[in-house]
Amino acid sequence: MDSARWRRITAIFERAVELAPAGRAALLEHECAGDAELRREVEAMLAADATGDTFDRHAQDLRGSAAADWVEWNSSDRTPASFDGHTIGPWRVVRELGRGGMGLVFLVERADGQFEQLAALKLIKRGMDSDAVLARFLRERQILARLEHRNIARLLDGGLIPDGRPYFVMEYVDGVPISQYCAEHGSDLAERLRLFFGVCAAVQFAHRQLVVHSDLKPSNVLVGANGDVKLLDFGIAKLLGSEGAAATQTSNRPLTPAYAAPEQIRGEPLTTATDVYALGCLLYELLTGHRPFRLHDEPSLEQLRQVLDSTGPVAPSHLRAADAPVPPQRLRGDLDTIVLKALKREPDRRYATVDALAEDLKRFLAGLPIAAHRDSNLYRARKFVARHWLATTMTALAVLALSAAIAVAAWQAREKAAEARASSEVAGFLVGLFAASDPTHTRGAIVSAKDLLDQGAAQLDQPRLANPLLRARFLHAIATSYASLGLYDRALPLAEQALALRREHLSADDLAVAESMDGLGQIHAFTANYDAAEPLLRGALATRREHLSKDDPAVIESLGHLGNLLQDRGEFEAADEPFREALDRAERRYGAGAVETARSLDDYATNLQNIGKPVDAEAMYRRALAIRERQLGADNPDVASSLHNLGVILTTAGKYVEAEDVLRRALAIRRKVYGDAHPLVGFTELELASVLESRRDLDASEASAQRALAILRGSLDESHRKISDTLNLLAILRVDRRAYDDAVTLFGEVAQRHRRALGADHPDTLVTEDNLATSLYYAGRFSEAEALQRELTTKFRGDAGSGANVKNLQHLARTLEQQGKGSEAMEVARRALELQRELTGEQSRPYALVLRELALAEFFGGESDKAEAHYRESVALVERLAATGGFGSYGWKIPFADFLVGAGRCDEATPLLHAAAQEMDKADNANPIWRPQANLLLGACLQRSGRSAEAKPLIAGARTALQALPAIERDLYPTARREYAAGGDRVAAAPKRD
């Protein structure tokens, strides 16, 4: 068999071993079609993996032709030292590190020159490459590939040598066995337990990946010079749920006798309790310097069964060895109880999880009561009778039966004592909480969720919650509920107390501590306290990454929370990474159509919008909405969230009718779920006000914005950014109503709030200053506007600022035009067009807007040919876009008509003006400047054609309407300005051309 054939066998094996029997059969039928020998080889390896049997089939069956140097290297008269200097894949052998029952381990270094790295390479020994060993070896490689944890040696590489034997390369741990490390360093009890916690973290992580190590012992736990623990050798590990019934056939299953659990020795199925037992052995040795059982060298299985069935281990404190590393008095009591519980013969009487074992040790260190208990005399008597029932008389049997019944009751009561205490405290808390909603207490009033939370918060100080960790759980839960209601001022102190309690009674890297850090971090983020939020959210994410799998829901949640924080701070590029990772992991864990994935889609879409990718963002929002509506129903708050976000992007895209519809749907759901005063209701009111402003429904927009402001000021800290956003919209409404001085005041206030909360260079600060500059322009304060606009051109940087910079450059061009600086205005407008082209391409409404501004600047600057070409291009572009975009093209046709009338080409201008008028008749949000401008230009053309009678009423009506507008607006377009001036009213002078 050649190496390619062997690679084919192993590839099919690695896929098949993960499947149920029916799935395996289908896979083999497909992959081995027409090749009976291939199927036989794979089935033999699957059988070997399941049973642990060693077939009498050795290297000649599985090896193909090899290169001459490998034949020489592997010949029987060569010593392991001969391996030094050989290369295996990209690795060069430095020296042998050791050998186990099935393989050799070498220290290797990178040989390909890509980078310097030492590693440990594991290779099956010659003569050990039977089906069973090969299957087990491949399984170890497969298991390591899925285990990424700081306390587990990482898998770096793998492959086949020319004779077909597989190898894999692991992280090289330059350390010593944990027992040796403790002895050499004279480690005290606290240090020994610290190291043991690292082992527990690694094993619990493996269990969460459905992997049982099944060979835990000091030599497989190394400690480096820096004190970090690394777990090695998953050579006989098992994947839970993938073994089938054959897993019980373990007569040849490898094990280490001194650390093997009773069920391993009896050949029973392995579970996570098997590793709990081995951890108990390891802990026993760390605390006493001795193993739990004194066994002869290489005992037989029968000898092991006799030892395990006849006696239990001596309590650690009773050894009284002269060389005891920990004084016996420190072990007496709780530590004895913890160790002996982990070493119970019966798997179901050990700790249920490794975390439970570690938790009891942490409670011991904190001086808290532990969950484990000692066996009672009655329990031991019951077990004695069970072992010696033939020697028990019939008379005694009745008494012993009664004793046994009492013993069972006593044991069960004691076993549940800790849970009962906690349950009693929980029950008492809940009884008191829900008694608050009894009509006899409320006198018929309906008790709200907030009222119940208030009652719960008040009860947290009562003595019934004596357990500090239980109290912390309630504090965290109530804080989270307060936050979900938008009551952040009430949530904050409870979340702080929960975190403080957990930090006091748990280790810093405990997952419960991470949960509290994440919750408190979110509350700080919601209230714009970003500096306090970031270290908490990053710390929670780091702990969850350390202890959980990469696709764990808590890790995905933390990634989303960190992304939201960075986004709120305006760090959109930085937010992209956690959002993208959260989405990738959610799709991998839950599937592309899952509700959990929709949450990540929503988050990522928001950031895509912020970095200038609105089309991608809209598509992602729609996908999230479809998932949520399909799986959650129409009135779910998550559906409201998707509707809200979609409404925002539709507003940005100018799709105002659809935007208003989806935002009103979102608002109705949020009012129904949260009531009228929740900040989420305020957020949607604000977005609805924005789309209403875009539709020129100014009264409705003002009312919605004022409602939003009242809600947000009633539920959030005054510094919250959404309050600033609402004030910003109210300032825009002042601009819409031509109250420019009021707008300058409001924009100035918002800019000051942003500078204080976000910093002078934050994108929101810069956009607000741009709005302030625009208001100064419309107020006729051109020199102030120009100075601020020029300052802003130096501040806008990167993709996140490109869109805002384009708008600022457009406004600067207009300011320069009004001051007669035509040449400079053209230069600025051309820079704006180039930026917009890079940002959105040429087939977009924003590009058409900037193109129109460039044409106007060229008209002012005297470059008529270029102005006409750009006007024509902009009108043609916007007519194409308007057909599907839900907006009109009159805002482009009227400026072009102004140019044509000024050039004496009324025959071309008149059709444009009539078309614009028809569009405005159908539009519900036309800017009031456009119709009088169009009528004034039509009247001018009628006069020039000798139709004065028709022209006069048009001109008179237009002039009346324009008189109500500030001069800065009616004087924007050169020809209309001159025609207005010709009517006799005093207007601003036309700009000078330089």
Q: Tokens at residue 67, please?
A: 């290169």
Element (H, E) at 88: strand 87-88
Distance between CA atoms of residues 548 and 455, nearest Å: 35
DSSP state of 447: P
Please count the other Cβ atoms lying within 10 Å of the Cβ belonging to residue 629: 16
- Which residue is listed with tokens 């876009």? 881
Length of the chain: 994
**% helix, strand, coil for the chain, step of 5:** 65, 5, 30
Token pair, residue 336, equals 């004895």
Distance (Å, rounded) from C-alpha 138 to C-alpha 134?
6
Helix then strand count (H, E) for the chain reads: 45, 11
Distance CA 734, CA 737 (A): 5
What backbone torsions phi and psi does residue 159 show, to the nearest 5 degrees? 175, -160
What count of other Cβ atoms lies within 10 Å of the Cβ of residue 81? Answer: 8
Q: Please, which residues have CB within 8 angstroms of residue 240's CB and are 6 or more apart in sequence?
A: 210, 211, 212, 271, 272
* Local structure of 361: helix, strand or coil: helix
Residue 342's closest CA among 359, 325, 326?
359
Q: Which residue is listed with tokens 């004279």? A: 186
Instruction: Give the whole-angstrom CA distance, residue 982 versus residue 715.
Output: 56
Determine the residue type at 759.
G
Give the number of other Cβ atoms within 10 Å of residue 351's Cβ: 23
Place of tokens 């000798």: 946
CA distance 592 to 598: 8
From residue 185, alpha-carbon distances to 189, 191, 192, 205, 655 in Å are 12, 10, 10, 28, 71
For residue 31, give Cα distances in angstroms to 7, 243, 306.
13, 21, 48
| Phi, psi at 810, each rounded to 5° | -60, -45
Q: What residues contact residue 517 under an 8 Å CB cut-off, 6+ apart? A: 499, 536, 537, 539, 540, 543
Residues 617-627 as b/e (b if ≥16 CB within 10 A, e otherwise) read: bbebbbbbbeb
d(CA 698, CA 537): 41
How far apart CA 49 and CA 45 sit, in angstroms, is 6
CA neighbor of 317 nearest in space, from 294, 295, 340, 350: 340
Cα 463 versus chain centre, distance: 38
Residue 215 annotated to the active site: yes
Angle at the Cα of 330 from the Cα atoms of 329 and 333, rounded to 5 degrees: 80
Q: Measure the CA–CA gap between 151 and 203, rounded to whole angstroms.
A: 9
| Burial of 566 from C-beta contacts in 10 A (0-12 / 13-18 / 19+) | buried
Task: Judge whether 613 and 627 are in contact, CB under 8 Å.
Answer: no
Q: Can you read off the two tokens belonging to residue 794?
A: 């130096």
Task: Please state, as a whole number, how many other Cβ atoms lie within 10 Å of the Cβ of residue 253.
Answer: 21
The amino acid present at 257, given as its one-letter code, is: P
Residue 120, classed as helix, strand or coil, is strand
| Candidates 215, 275, 603, 638; catalytic one | 215
Instruction: Using DSSP, state whether 834 is helix, strand or coil.
Output: helix
Please give the positions annotated as active site: 215
